[in-house]
Structure 1
Amino acid sequence: MSIVQGHNDYVLIITNYLLNYVAFTDYIKDMEMRIDDITWTLDEEPVPKVPALSGAGGCGGGDGTSPQESDYLRHEQLKDERKRLQQNVKDIKTRMDRLAKCFHELDETDQKILEIYYIDGAKSWEWTAKMVNASTSFCFKHGKGALQELANRYFGLRAMPIQ
C-alpha cells in the first residue's frame, strides 16, 4: 500500500505543478522584478543625512538610532531580502524548467491534452476532447497516461510503480 501511495504522491505533485504552472511562472517574473528593484535601490548612492539640531536632543528617532544607522540597517535588510528571493526564485525556476523539459519530451498530442486540461484550466475532459478533436475516453486515457509518463520523466525511477 505504501508503495502505491508513494507512487501516487509523485503524480499528485506533477498534477499540482501543472495546475499552478501559470501562477509559478508569474511568481518567478514578479520576484525577478522585485530583485531588480532591490538591486537598483542598493546601487543608488545614498544622500548623506544630517540630523537636525533640536533643543530637545536625540538623534532624530525615538529609538535613539541616527538616520545614518537607519540607512545602514535598511541597506542590510535589502541585501538579505534579495539573497532570500534569489534563492527562492532559483529553487522554483529549477523545478519549472525541469517540468517544461520533461513536458516537451512527451508526444505532441499528450502535451496538448495536458496543456488544455491542467495548465489552461479546462478541468473538463469533454471540453479537452472537443479542443483536441478526439473522443472523451481517448483524452481521459491519454491524459492519465501522459501524467504518469511526465511523473516518470520528472522523478525518474522513484515515480515508477512497482508491479
Structure 2
Amino acid sequence: MRLTRRRNLPDGLTLGRGERVLAVSGDTVATDAALHFQDGAAFTRLPWERVEQAAWRDGVLAVREVGGGRHSVHLSEPGSVPETVRERVTATVVVSTHVKLPGGGGVRIAARRPAKGSGDPRWTLVFDSGLDPSDPGLLAQAEQAMEEIRRQTGL
C-alpha cells in the first residue's frame, strides 16, 4: 500500500497522533486506524472496528456502522480508497458467525479487534430482519450463544 503524505490532506482534517495515511480521495481519507470523510461542515472519524460493512458501487462508498448508522461517501476519483477500506475492515474481524436461535431466526455474532491491534475485541450482535433486538428473551439467547463462542475461541 502506498503511503500518502499529510500535505495532501483536506483542509480541516486532523488525524490522531501516530495515525498513518493509507489512501486519499478528495475529502475522504483512509488511515491505518479509521476512515475519515466529510459529513456536512465537519469530518467524521469512523474507526475500522466500527464498520460493519462497506460496499463500493457507481462512485459511492456505502458504509454501514455496527449498530446501524449508514453513510454514503461520494468519491469522484476513488484511487485506492475502496480497496483500502475493504482490507482495513476485513483485518479487524476476528470472529464472525451466524447462529440460529431456538425461537426461529438468528443472529450474527462478531468480534472485531481495534485497528491498531491493542485492546480487547469488541463483540456485536446483529439480529436477522424481523427479530426484535430489545426482546429480553431473544437478547438472552443471543448473549448465551456469544458466551459459548467466546469460550470456544478463548476471546
Q: Considering only CA atoms, is the larger Rg found in Structure 1 or Structure 2?
A: 1
TM-score by structure 2 length?
Answer: 0.31
TM-score by structure 1 length?
Answer: 0.30
Higher helix share: 1
Structure showing greater relative contact order (alpha-carbon pairs closer than 8 Å, 6 or more residues apart): 1
